[in-house]
Amino acid sequence: MAESLKGKFKKKCQEMGIPLVGFAPVDRWENPPPELPHQFEEWIPEEFWPQSIYPEAKTVIVIGLPVQLPILDTAPSIYYHELYHTINRLLDEKAYLLSNYLTREGYPSIYLPRDGYGDIEVLLKKPLAFFSHKHAAYLAGLGSIGWNNVLLTPEYGPRVRFTSIFTTASLEGDPIRGNDLCTRCLSCAKSCPVHALATKKEENFPPPMEKMNCANRSRKLRKKYLSPCGICIKVCPVGEDRVVFDREDTSIYFQEENFEKYHRAWEHVRKYGSKK
Ligand code: B12
Ligand code: SF4
Ligand code: SF4
């Protein structure tokens, strides 16, 4: 019964144009599966677990939508700014509709917003949301944490945004693939304009991040309609999307010669629709 519900749900996601879906029983927050790619010294505090937020929850379903790489290539730009908002809106809407679908099937369910903060000013004081989708996607077997502190997936590397649904249906968890996808190339850290990511390999994994440097940059960019920054997810070599969009060679970001046509296009986009 529960299995067939999972099958029907996945079919519905396919029809709604959602390429990534993962299932994590809530007990994975309490007992993280040993086959996960990383074990963390510091784990998610209990009040952030799904069963603490919605005590009836049995399974967390995570959905992911891709960040289209050639648009991200122009970032920071109005083009990525618009894409970011489009994906955010779609994630919220799709999760809301899917949770209603499960409720109608007899399993009361609720959606979560893809972010859950009022404004970047709030994050400058406390850079936390009441529920972490990155950790939910990790526990649903969708990928591994990268040096850049976000989830890398085989399909899109870090270029994917998530949201989650809490459902009272007990659905089988997806297998944990267990692969650590990060190559430790450190392109993300070396490209960060505000040094928010560690640049020395011997530091702990995942390395500590200067979240305030990143949040402050986002705040400044927002005033020019250029937020978010996105550079550390743009330059990452991981992800099948690089093959799909013919962007496997990441020197496109670091060398102008041989790639003039791309650099010209990015400069053009950056000239319009935002403040200098
Ligand atoms: C706050 C926030 C930010 C802040 C702070 C950054 C951060 N990484 O926490 C700012 C504004 C800087 C930011 C920037 C970006 N973000 Co952001 N952000 C969030 C938000 C709203 C909450 C994150 C959160 O609470 N995480 C929990 C913290 C504490 O996780 P952590 O630091 O890794 O925790 C570790 C330890 O500290 C310990 N721990 C200790 N205490 C606690 C407490 C809790 C609650 C947990 C869970 C763990 C924990 O456990 C962990 C062990 O590794 C989420 C949306 C959401 N609701 O999930 C998006 C989210 C994480 N962001 C996302 C993205 C894509 C970005 C940007 C790329 C946006 C951009 N610029 O284009 C940048 C990337 C910056 C970077 N390299 O991390 C995506 C990530 C998708 C993915 N593929 O993983 C998310 C999930 C949004 C979404 N809906 O998809 N973000
Ligand atoms: S989003 Fe930009 S500022 Fe933030 S960590 Fe990534 S590269 Fe650095
Ligand atoms: S850019 Fe390199 S070091 Fe950074 S997350 Fe991607 S693979 Fe890992």
- What pLDDT band is residue 206 in, cutting at 50, 70 and 90? confident
- What pLDDT band is residue 3 in, cutting at 50, 70 and 90? low
Ligand 1 pocket check for 134: Cβ under 6 Å: yes
pLDDT attached to residue 220: 97
Ligand 1 pocket check for 123: Cβ under 6 Å: yes
Ligand 2 pocket check for 197: Cβ under 6 Å: yes
Spatial CA neighbour of 5 closest among 158, 168, 156: 168
2 pLDDT above the threshold of 70 = no
Q: Which ligand is nearest to the CA of 45?
A: 1
Ligand 1 pocket check for 269: Cβ under 6 Å: no
Helix (H, G, I), strand (E, B) or coil at 245: coil
Helix (H, G, I), strand (E, B) or coil at 147: coil
pTM: 0.97
Atom of ligand 3 nearest to the CA of 147: 5
What's the full length of the chain, in residues?
276
Ligand 2 pocket check for 26: Cβ under 6 Å: no
Long-range contacts of 75-78 (CB under 8 A, 24+ apart): 75/228, 75/229, 75/230, 75/231, 75/234, 76/221, 76/226, 76/227, 76/228, 76/229, 76/230, 76/231, 76/270, 77/226, 77/266, 77/269, 77/270, 77/274, 78/225, 78/226, 78/269, 78/272, 78/273, 78/274
- What pLDDT band is residue 16 in, cutting at 50, 70 and 90? very high
Instruction: Taking residues 235-264, report their average pLDDT.
Output: 97
The whole-angstrom separation of Cα 91 and Cα 85 is: 10
The whole-angstrom separation of Cα 34 and Cα 36 is: 6
Which residue's C-alpha comes closest to atom 55 of ligand 1? Answer: 115
Ligand 3 pocket check for 186: Cβ under 6 Å: yes
Query: Where are the domains positioned within the chain?
Result: 1-276
90 pLDDT above the threshold of 70 = yes
Atom of ligand 1 nearest to the CA of 41: 52
pLDDT attached to residue 201: 81
Ligand 3 pocket check for 148: Cβ under 6 Å: yes
pLDDT attached to residue 203: 74
Would you put residue 236 in left (φ > 0), alpha (ψ -120 to 50) or beta? beta
- In the chain, what percentage of residues exceed pLDDT 90? 93
Spatial CA neighbour of 78 closest among 222, 213, 217, 193: 222
Q: How far is the CA of 198 from the centre of ligand 2 (A)?
A: 12
Which parts of the chain are beta strand (E)?
A: 20-25, 59-66, 109-111, 144-145, 151-152, 160-167
Range with the lowest mean pLDDT among 197-206, 212-221, 264-273?
197-206
Atom of ligand 1 nearest to the CA of 196: 77
Only one residue has tokens 């529960």, namely: 2
- What pLDDT band is residue 254 in, cutting at 50, 70 and 90? very high
Q: How far is the CA of 242 from the centre of ligand 1 (A)?
A: 23
